[in-house]
């Protein structure tokens, strides 16, 4: 989010688009602002969808402060460097793929060095401490209860007060106290990730009961338990619960592999901040004898020969990292179990699997899905619909407008309807990317510029998801056709359809050219 006042401009967060390939291409586009004219960045937390474009910002000339909590600053060193390595590795793999032969070189969005350059700009500030990110702006951070170091941001500028929620954690979350922030702001910007979904209320003990049941069921089948997990926070929560269950002899004594170098580094940051965290009790549970941290690629590949192990690997939505390697080697095995413990955005491989796909395409290869697919909701780091509703209610009175952002369309609309039922006359805004608003004190926001309506089609599955599903099932579907002649006729009909689209496109081009002349 970009805030401007009197010739000064600050950003709150600078994150990556995540989801379908089409949505991710937006990361490669030009910024909607001049990086050299940004006076400061305030960062709510270290998740990539909030900080992942900071290296690109730094690579394009931004060299001023990135204000954040100490926990976030410590995590950024690893998060941003890892993001740069992923960008470089992804570019290298794409350029090697045979199906891209003859195409132009694919360049990384940024590099590992760009990530470290951005991290060095971090300026830690304590919760509740006022600071001046730029002349005319005053700000302070409040606990958001989402992940280590996460914060909501209060800003005073030009007589207007703002509160930006960042990502909010649920009530009774491991490690962190419940979210807290002031009330009586002019304008509030609140996230809506789970704005249309209420989860069953569970204590940490009940969550461990659910995990115990899933672990026992998975291991009884004789295969591996594969857990796609976010390197930051989710991995550490799972390690906390698995260690407690193992110590109480509630799960079998099997090895637990953390196959994510980034998760291993983030876990060290958690251990370093242990005195700030709840549920740790002074013990270094992350050094439990059942837990093994995998660093080298060769060691990761050796896990392919194992059965009966618990393997935690990133990324949480299965879009990159070593989890894709483990899915290729376990999805087709009936004795394996894939356990999802986090949000899966539409258009991601994780969402496709969770929605029941029988076959998926991973790194250009078709993989049958025969493994057990399971899910536990109670590990979410996001507040659900009812918790978001309460957080907003606790911020009242809101003198101007409530903005609902950071959610898929149905989630934002679900939260809007719930909040509007409390205050039918209140100003509620669901902004699009690119919209600009004037934020007067004590009065509703005024829209100054419309946003990009074309992006609505990119927030779910895109044509590349459809293509992967089509091509993955094509051979299987054709094989079902009764005889050789009918199979060839079906393929010929598909070709005729594609040729007709191409001919119609060429015809439109000719007509448009004739009209212009």
Same domain, 356 and 426: no
Q: Are 417 and 410 in contact (CB under 8 A)?
A: no
Residues 6+ apart with CB under 8 A from 289: none
Identify the three-state secondary structure at position 126.
coil
CA dihedral 67, 68, 71, 73 (to 10 degrees): -30
- Alpha carbon distances (Å) from 19 to 16, 25, 158, 347, 464: 10, 10, 36, 5, 11
Q: Are 230 and 372 in contact (CB under 8 A)?
A: no
Examine residue 143 and state whether it is found in any structural domain, yes or no: no
Q: What is the residue whose two structure tokens read 């079902």?
A: 480
Q: Are 373 and 354 in contact (CB under 8 A)?
A: yes
Helices 484-516/463-480 angle, 10° precision: 150
Phi, psi of 105 (to 5 degrees): -65, 135
Taking the C-alpha atoms of residue 240 and residue 446, their distance in angstroms, rounded to an integer, is 47
Phi, psi of 182 (to 5 degrees): -75, 165
Q: How far is CA 84 from the centre of its chain?
A: 16
Examine residue 136 and state whether it is found in any structural domain, yes or no: no
Same domain, 364 and 391: no
Same domain, 332 and 268: yes
Q: Are 341 and 371 in contact (CB under 8 A)?
A: no
The structure's pTM equals 0.84
Q: CATH number, domain at 187?
A: 3.60.15.10
Helices 70-96/261-272 angle, 10° precision: 180
Same domain, 261 and 387: no
* Residue where one domain finishes, among candidates 104, 126, 148: 126
Examine residue 133 and state whether it is found in any structural domain, yes or no: no
Identify the three-state secondary structure at position 511.
helix
Taking the C-alpha atoms of residue 349 and residue 296, their distance in angstroms, rounded to an integer, is 24
pLDDT in tens, the chain (517 residues): 999 999 999 999 999 987 667 777 889 999 999 999 999 999 999 999 999 999 999 999 999 999 999 999 999 999 999 999 989 988 888 788 655 556 778 889 999 999 999 999 999 999 999 999 999 999 999 999 999 999 999 999 999 999 999 999 998 788 999 999 999 999 999 999 999 999 888 888 999 999 999 999 999 999 999 999 999 999 999 999 999 999 999 999 999 999 999 999 999 999 899 888 887 765 677 889 999 999 999 999 999 889 999 999 998 999 888 999 999 999 999 999 999 998 888 788 999 999 999 999 898 788 999 999 999 988 888 999 999 999 999 999 999 999 999 998 899 999 999 999 998 889 999 999 889 999 999 999 999 999 776 665 555 555 666 766 777 677 778 888 878 888 888 888 888 888 888 888 877 777 776 665 5
Same domain, 39 and 111: yes
Q: Are 276 and 270 in contact (CB under 8 A)?
A: no
Q: What was the pLDDT predicted at 396?
A: 95
Give the N- to C-terminal CA distance of the chain in Å, as an integer: 43
Examine residue 67 and state whether it is found in any structural domain, yes or no: yes
Count CB neighbours of 250 within 10 A: 16
Q: CATH number, domain at 302?
A: 3.40.50.10890
Element (H, E) at 495: helix 484-516
Phi, psi of 187 (to 5 degrees): -140, 140
* Residue where one domain finishes, among candidates 425, 453, 481: 453
Taking the C-alpha atoms of residue 355 and residue 349, their distance in angstroms, rounded to an integer, is 10
Domain that holds residue 106: 1-126
Same domain, 115 and 223: no
Beta strands in 192-228, from DSSP E residues, in sequence order: 225-228
Examine residue 135 and state whether it is found in any structural domain, yes or no: no
Taking the C-alpha atoms of residue 281 and residue 274, their distance in angstroms, rounded to an integer, is 9
Taking the C-alpha atoms of residue 44 and residue 152, their distance in angstroms, rounded to an integer, is 6
Taking the C-alpha atoms of residue 486 and residue 492, their distance in angstroms, rounded to an integer, is 10
Same domain, 59 and 177: no
Helices 261-272/234-247 angle, 10° precision: 80
Examine residue 59 and state whether it is found in any structural domain, yes or no: yes
Q: What was the pLDDT predicted at 132?
A: 98
Q: Are 443 and 399 in contact (CB under 8 A)?
A: yes
Phi, psi of 64 (to 5 degrees): -105, -170
Identify the three-state secondary structure at position 228.
strand
* Total domains, the chain: 4
* Residue where one domain finishes, among candidates 375, 403, 435: 375
Taking the C-alpha atoms of residue 310 and residue 293, their distance in angstroms, rounded to an integer, is 12
Q: What was the pLDDT predicted at 172?
A: 79
Same domain, 186 and 113: no
Say if residue 139 is exposed, middle or buried (CB neighbours under 10 Å; 0-12, 13-18, 19+).
buried
Examine residue 402 and state whether it is found in any structural domain, yes or no: yes
Taking the C-alpha atoms of residue 173 and residue 169, their distance in angstroms, rounded to an integer, is 7
Count CB neighbours of 486 within 10 A: 11
Q: What was the pLDDT predicted at 265?
A: 94
Same domain, 221 and 358: yes
Q: Which residues pair with 437 in a beta bridge?
A: 447
Same domain, 355 and 261: yes
Same domain, 426 and 486: no
The closest alpha carbon to 149, from 123, 129, 164, 127, belongs to 127
DSSP 261-314: HHHHHHHHHHHHTGGGSSS-TT--GGG-TTEEE--SHHHHHHGGG--S-EEEES
Say if residue 21 is exposed, middle or buried (CB neighbours under 10 Å; 0-12, 13-18, 19+).
middle
Same domain, 111 and 231: no
Examine residue 517 and state whether it is found in any structural domain, yes or no: no
Q: Are 353 and 372 in contact (CB under 8 A)?
A: no
């Amino acid at each position: 989010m970009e805030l401007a006042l009197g010739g000064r401009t600050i950003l709150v967060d600078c994150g990556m688009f995540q989801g379908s390939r089409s949505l991710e291409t937006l990361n490669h586009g030009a910024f909607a602002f001049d990086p050299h004219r940004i006076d400061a960045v305030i960062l709510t937390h270290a998740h990539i969808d909030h900080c992942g474009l900071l290296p690109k910002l730094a690579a394009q000339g931004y060299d001023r402060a990135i204000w954040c909590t100490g926990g976030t600053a410590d995590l950024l060193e690893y998060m941003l460097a890892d993001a740069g390595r992923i960008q470089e590795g992804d570019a290298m793999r794409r350029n090697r793929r045979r199906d891209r032969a003859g195409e132009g070189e694919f360049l990384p969005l940024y590099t590992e060095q760009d990530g470290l350059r951005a991290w060095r700009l971090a300026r830690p500030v304590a919760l509740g401490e006022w600071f001046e990110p730029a002349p005319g702006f005053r700000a302070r951070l409040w606990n958001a209860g989402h992940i280590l170091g996460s914060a909501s941001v209060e800003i005073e500028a030009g007589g207007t007060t703002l509160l930006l929620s960042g990502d909010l954690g649920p009530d009774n979350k491991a490690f962190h106290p419940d979210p807290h922030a002031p009330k009586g702001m002019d304008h509030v910007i609140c996230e809506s990730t789970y704005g249309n979904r209420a989860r069953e209320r569970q204590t940490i003990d009940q969550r461990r009961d659910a995990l115990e049941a899933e672990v026992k069921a998975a291991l009884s089948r004789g295969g591996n338990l594969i857990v796609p997990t976010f390197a930051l926070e989710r991995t550490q929560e799972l390690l906390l619960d698995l260690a407690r269950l193992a110590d109480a002899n509630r799960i079998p004594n099997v090895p637990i592999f953390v196959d994510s170098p980034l998760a291993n580094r983030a876990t060290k940051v958690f251990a370093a901040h242990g005195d700030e965290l709840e549920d740790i009790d002074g013990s270094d549970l992350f050094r439990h004898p059942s837990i093994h941290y995998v660093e080298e690629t060769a060691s990761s590949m050796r896990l392919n020969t194992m059965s009966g192990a618990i393997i935690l690997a990133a990324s949480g939505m299965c879009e990159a990292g070593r989890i894709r390697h483990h899915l290729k080697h376990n999805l087709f095995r009936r004795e394996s179990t894939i356990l999802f413990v986090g949000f899966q955005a539409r258009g991601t491989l994780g969402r496709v699997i969770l929605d029941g796909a029988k076959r998926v395409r991973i790194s250009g290869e078709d993989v049958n899905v025969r493994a057990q697919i399971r899910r536990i909701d109670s590990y979410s780091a996001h507040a659900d619909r009812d918790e978001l509703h309460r957080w907003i209610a606790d911020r009242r009175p809101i003198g101007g407008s409530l903005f609902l952002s950071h959610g898929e369309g149905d989630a934002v609309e679900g939260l809007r309807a719930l909040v509007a039922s409390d205050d039918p006359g209140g100003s509620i805004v669901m902004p699009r990317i690119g919209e600009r608003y004037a934020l007067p004190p004590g009065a509703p926001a005024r829209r100054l510029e419309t946003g990009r309506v074309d992006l609505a089609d990119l927030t779910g599955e895109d044509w590349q998801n459809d293509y992967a599903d089509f091509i993955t099932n094509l051979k299987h579907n054709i094989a079902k056709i009764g005889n050789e002649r009918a199979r060839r006729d079906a393929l010929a009909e598909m070709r005729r359809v594609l040729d007709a689209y191409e001919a119609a496109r060429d015809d439109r081009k000719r007509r448009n050219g004739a009209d212009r002349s």
